[in-house]
Every structure is written in structure tokens, then in C-alpha cells.
Structure 1
Amino acid sequence: MATSFKFIRVLGIPIYVNYTWFIVFGLVVYNLAVLYFPYLGPYYSPSTRWIMAFIASITLFASILLHELSHSYVAQRHGIKIKSITLFIFGGIAQMVGETRSPRAEMKIAAAGPALSFLISGIFWIITFIFIRDMAISPVLAVSQFLAYTNMILAIFNLIPGFPLDGGRILRAIIWAKSGNLSRATLITSRIGKGFAIFLIVMGLWNILQGVFIHGLWLIFIGIFLQQAAEEGYRQTLLHRALSSVRIRDIMVYPVMMIADDITLERVVNDYFFRYRYNSFPVISNDNLVGIISIHDIKGIEKERWPFMTVRDVMHRNISEFTISPDGGALEALDRIIEGKRGRLVVVEYGKVMGIISQRDIMQMLKLKTDLGAT
């Protein structure tokens, strides 16, 4: 079941909204309408407060999106592909494909987000200070003050020097530049990040003991998320470092077991899937690659129909989705295998099938390099 839906595309990057985002959005709107804006301006009508809360919340999350887009824009300028940006319960996250190639690029990408958040905060602070005397009666200025505060807090929070926060990435770039060791820099900053995460969890527990249940629970959730993100970030760095130089032709398997498009599904299951225990096979017709068939293509069909249906009836025909060049990188292959959920990619060069590569092949190479200390 999908947990997100595509909202818009900006700078060529698909923007997704996770369904958990609606939870925090509703909470923010409610707290602004019931608690925050009545305190700033007791003369606002109830309907005005709810409209203010809705506009402020939308603008806040637009600011978070701009924060992530600033990271993404700078990353693209340095040759890093951005797969997507997702808004979710803890804010936003940009999914980058690959690691930065230098400490300088890493620092620029990391600093872009907080810099834009400070800029947005500054704009709203200017509006607030110019018209501060009308705060009690001006909904626009009340919303402006809220956005000035929140964007400033967003920037400051992200500058905490613990990975994967922006401040942690800046510190990682500094350590990387001085030591020349990205793995060590990531290890140090991820430990700081996990330490900060534990601090948030402890503070959350303390708040709960003091009777501030919602705030304490929120701190615990953020702490758990940051701790997991720090650990995952370190693992991803090791993965990228170990596989960045591995080409597909170096680890692909050949010759390739292929099947004809005119055999029945019953034979495919019995003679290929059960016998060889692969989860997909390339399909050929007159020695030409015409598709791929996987367990997922067959399992939705009633078993009674298998003797009367052929491979061509159910195979996947979009060749570009399951083929890859032998000169591509192992990281690219791994990303496509996970995204495509077919287990394997067919390696093709000049229209000819050269081999096949699976997630198992890539992970075996990763294990070998890790065991030999070649990462």
C-alpha cells in the first residue's frame, strides 16, 4: 500500500506528500487557532483565527519544502541526482542518489537549506518590525511573526552539528577536508547525531514525568527518528564508498538463463522458477530480448489457467525498465532493482544480452569488500 502521493514536480524533482503529514498539519492548525493566535490578538474572531492558522500552516510547510529544494538545487548543480522530495510528519527529506564528490560540495549543499530558512525568517521579521504596532489587530502581521520565529528555529535546529542534520553534514565536510576520510567523518558526526537524539528522548521522558505529555511524546518521536536516520546515514555512506567504483560488467552473471515467449506458464513455474529458484527470467523471441517475467507476474493468475497461457501473455514488455548498460555503476543497479521490485536487471550492450545482475550479486560484492577491508 502506498504511503505517499505525488503532489507536484519542481526543478524536475517529484514532490511527494506522506499521509502522516496530514497529522502534523492538523495539529499545527489546531494549536495556532486555539492557543497561539488568541494570545497574540484577543480581538481576532474565531473564523479569522482559523483562517490565519490555515494560511500560516500552509506557508510554514511551503517554507520547509523550499528548504529541501535549496539543498536539491545546489546538489543538482554539483551533478547529484535528486530522486524525490517527501513531506512527512517530521518535516521534509530530499532523497539524493549518490554521495557528494568533495568536502566543498558537501558543505555548499548542507548550508543551502539553513541559509534559505534564515532568509525567509529575515523577510518575515522585517515585515513584523515595520508594522509591529498593529500586531493586536493585524492578522497578516501575526502570521508574519509566527513564520519569522518558525523559520529561524528551523534553521537553528538544522545547524546542530549531528548527522544527518545540516549542521552535522557541515561538520562532516570540515572533518572530511582535514582528514581526507569520508567514512571517519561520517562515523564521528553520526555519533554526535545519535547523542543528540538520545538527549531529545531523555528530555521527552522528563517532560512526560512533569505532566507535559504531548510535548514530551513529540520529543521522543523526533529523537527516535534522528537516531535511526543517523545510523542509516552511516550505513549508506559505507555502502556508497564500497560500491562507488564497482562497474556492472565486473559483477554481472553470465551466461544468462533465458526462456522463450511461447512456453506455458505451467512449464515456466515447474522447469524454471522451481528448478533454478530465481524470481525473474529474461524472455526472448527469435533470439531477441522481448520482455521479462517474474513471480509477481504469475502469482496473480489462477493456477488452473497456467497450462493454457504463455509467457507472452503476462510478461513485462517495457524493456527500458529492466535493462541496464554494463558500464553503469553497481549503486545505480541496486537503486533500480529496489525501485523496480523485480529482483534482477538484464545487462544489455548494443542490443545484445551480456549478463544479468541481482541484488544478491551486489550485496555479495559489498560483503567481500567489507570483509577484506577494501571499503
Structure 2
Amino acid sequence: MKAGWRVGSIFGIPLFLDPSWFLILIFVTLLYRSMLGPYNVTNELEWGLGFAMALLLFASVLMHELGHSLVALSQGITVHSITLFLFGGIASIESESKTPGQAFQVAIAGPAVSLILCLGLTLVHHISVLGEPANFMIGRLAFINLVLAIFNMMPGLPLDGGQVLKAAIWKATGNRIQGVRWSARAGEVLGWGAIALGVALYVRTFELAFIWLAIIGWFGVQNAKTYRRVADIQDVLLYLQASDVMRREFRVVDATLSVTEFIQQYLSVSHADILFFAASNGRYRGQIDLDTVKTLDRSQWDDVSLAALAVPLTRIPSVRETTALPQVIYRLDEEQVGQITVLSPADTVAGVIDRSDILQQVAQALNLSIPSEIVQNVRETQEYPTSLQLSLLAKAVLSDVKEHHQVSG
């Protein structure tokens, strides 16, 4: 999450405020202003202290997220941003930890910070000589941090307790994706439970606070479903190979043809996105670079053969039919190309793959319907839909495979 306004950075991590943050800022200000009535302070001071309490609450949330972020940074993981929004805060961390133990450390860091803040503020509350209402605010802030720690340790994604549960399942099964899936299911159960409880209590009491509980439950359910979909996508990536995704939309042409003959026989009737490969005497000579053909001086068209222009297969981005799909995705990104060639065990061209092919195959495996306009847009732009994050998920799968091989080795 990086929507909203950037308001600075802390430890090099950009800090953003989502528009929804201002709604909860106003609500919390009003809430704590109303609690200061018994302390006989002026109206202006009530507003000022209520606003200060709201800012301190979000400072606590920021410290919580910093706990996660700093531990992730210590593990060499990039933290893109921290965003404060309607339901609290979220740290945008680029990738998973490499081991269950490290994942546990990142997950537990946030609640640990909240608990430390609670203990420190409680100590200040008991020894404070500031008087009221300052002492009241310190005590209330200590309680808020305690609630923040306890609530976040509930065992279901997207909460920190869900991340802890994921790490535990990952450790027990050796399968991170399995950990994500079961933690997400636990998060859905918790979310639906919060919705049911919130609605039931509201019907009995008509207290608006219980509607807020139901809204938080709905937010939890949606995020847990997102985590489960991520696990499903990674499972698909883990078992698909290049041969499952490639298409055979390419042409093999005679390498002895002149450029003139090639243009007349093929370019006038073929689609621009079809790849051409030159072959002669039963051997592939290489891929025909159409840009090179178009820039060749017309006076040379009759004299230059395709064999002279062909780029050898050893010099073009390629993968094998048995290459795992995450590796294909990684190679497309690493080589910064729109298409990659798939080679057979005999070093002949078996097919080609671009990002739209990957999108369609993954969607088919997940029984998702992708509109043809989106597929066409991916084919033209060579950028995946942001909602799927296929590049990041492929990196996570490759990291899992690498870690598994290191452990088993």
C-alpha cells in the first residue's frame, strides 16, 4: 500500500498517509475530547489534547510498524514504505524472510514494540507528577498499546498472529505456501466471527462501536482471501513449466532466402508479433531480427541472405521446455524482453512465451476468467496486472526452492 501523501521518511523508509487516515484522526480526536469533560479544562484545551491523543495513537501504530520494518531491514529485505490508514498501519515489505525463524522475528517485532511501549507508559503513569489530564492520557495510551499487541496476536492473517502461525506451520511442514494458506483460512474464520459478533451485539445494544467491529472483520476477511489467492498462485507457479505455457506461433524459414524473398513471402502476410527463425540443412541458424531487416539498405536486399542476419540461438534469451515457470518469469524480467524462446532437448525451437501467455495459463489453472482486453493489454505493454504481482510471487517461489535445496543438501 503506497496510496496517499508522502509526509517524510524514517530510517530511510518513506512514510505515507492514506486519505482514510484523516477520517479516523477526526474520529479519535472527537472521542478523546469527549473523555476530558471531568477534568475541567477549557474548550480549546479539550480540542488540543484530543488532537494530541489522536496523533500519539498513530505514533504508537507507526512504532509498531517500524518494529516489523527494522527487523526486515536487518535481514536484508527492502521496505518500500509505511502507510497509515483507516485501520491502522501497514509496512510494504518487498519479500518474505528466508527461513521460518526469520519470518517469526519480523512478525513478532510489531507486537513486541507495542508491549514495550505499554510497559514503559504504565511505569510513567504510576510515577508521573504531571497531574491530570496528562496522567489520564498516558494511562489511556498504555492501554491502547496493550490492546494493539493483544489484538494483533490473534492467529489469523493479515494480523501479526497470523504471520506467527504461518511461520510455525512453515517450520512444521517445510512448506511456506502451506503456512500462508492455513493462516489465511484462520484469518477468514476470525473475520467472519468478528462480523457475526459485531452485528449481533449491535442488534442488542445499538452501540456503534460494534458496527466498527464488524467493519474490521470484513476488512480482515478480504485481506485473508487475498493471502489465500497469493498462496494459490504460488502453488500454480511451482508446478507449471515452460512447456505448459508456450505457444507455437513462430515460423521457421529457409536461411538461404534473400531479404527480398523473405519480405515478399512472409512479412507481407504475417502478423508483426510472430517470431521468425532461419534454418538450413536441418540446422537452426538463428532468429531473424526484424528491426535489423527493416534498417538494412534496400540496395542490399537481393544480395544478403537470412543466414547472414540470423542471431544464433545461443545469443538470444531462451529457456528449456522443462524450465519452471517462476524461472521463466524471472528471465523475462532479468533480460528485459517481451518474449523468450523455448528450446527442446534437441536444441530446436519448441515455442515462445510472453507475459500474456503466462497470465492466461495461470488464470486457467486458477479457474479465473480474464477479459480479453486485459490479455491484449498485457501482450502490448508486457506488464502484468498489478493485482496479481506475478514477478514478486515468482521471486518468492524461487527463494523457497533455493532454500529447500540448501536445507536438503
Q: TM-score, normalised by structure 1?
A: 0.66
Q: Deviations over 1:172-192 (max 9, x none)?
A: 211211111222222222222
Instruction: Please give the per-residue CA displacement for 1:154-183, whole angstroms capped at 9, x wherever unaligned.
Output: 010001111221111111211211111222
The code of the aligned residue for 1:8 comes to G
What TM-score do the two structures reach when normalised by structure 2?
A: 0.61
Is 1:190 the equivalent of 2:184? yes
User: Residue in 2 aligned with 1:290?
Assistant: none
Q: Which residue of 2 aligns with 1:143?
A: 137
Aligned to 2:169: 175
**Equivalent residue number for residue 8 of structure 2:** 8
Secondary structure at the counterpart of residue 141 of structure 1: helix
2:81 pairs, out of 80, 84, 107, with 84
The aligned counterpart of 2:103 is: 106
CA contact (8 A) 1:159 1:167 kept: yes
Q: Which SS does the other structure have where 1:210 is aligned?
A: helix
Once the two structures are superposed, the pairs formed by residues 58-97 of structure 1 within 5 Å of their partners are 58-97=55-94
2:48 aligns with 51
- Which residue is equivalent to 1:292? none
Tell me how far apart the structure 1 counterparts of residues 74 and 222 of structure 2 sit (CA, whole Å). Answer: 29
Q: Output aligned runs, 1:284-303, within 5 Å.
A: none
Deviation at 1:52, TM superposition (A): 1.2
Unaligned runs of 5+ in 1: 257-270, 279-283, 288-324, 336-343
Given candidates 325, 331, 356, the residue that maps to 1:360 is: 356
Deviation at 1:359, TM superposition (A): 4.4
Describe the superposition over 1:99-137 as per-residue Cα deviations: whole angstroms up to 9, x where unpaired.
222110110000000000111111111110113xx68x4
Question: What is the alpha-carbon distance in structure 2 between the residues aligned to residue 129 and residue 331 of structure 1?
Answer: 56
For residue 66 of structure 1, what is the amino acid of its counterpart? Answer: M
Partner of 1:22: 22
Greater Rg by CA: 2
Deviation at 1:233, TM superposition (A): 1.2
- Which residue of structure 1 aligns with residue 120 of structure 2? 123
Question: By how many angstroms is 1:252 displaced?
Answer: 9.7
Aligned residue type for 1:200 = A
CA contact (8 A) 2:178 2:231 kept: no
Percent of aligned pairs sharing the same letter: 28
RMSD: 4.0
User: Which digits, 9 at most, give the CA deviation of each residue in 1:237-285, with x for residues without a partner?
Assistant: 343465489999x9899999xxxxxxxxxxxxxx9xxx7699xxxxx9x
Matches of 1:20 and 1:12, distance apart in 2: 24
Distance 2:47 2:90 in 1: 28
Cα 1:19/1:330, change in 2 over 3 Å: farther
Contact 1:254 1:354 (C-alpha < 8 Å) held by counterparts: no
| Structural mapping, 1:315-334, within 5 Å | none
Corresponding letter in the other structure for 2:27: L
State the SS of the aligned residue for 1:20: helix
For 2:220, the equivalent position in structure 1 comes to 226
State the SS of the aligned residue for 2:39.
coil
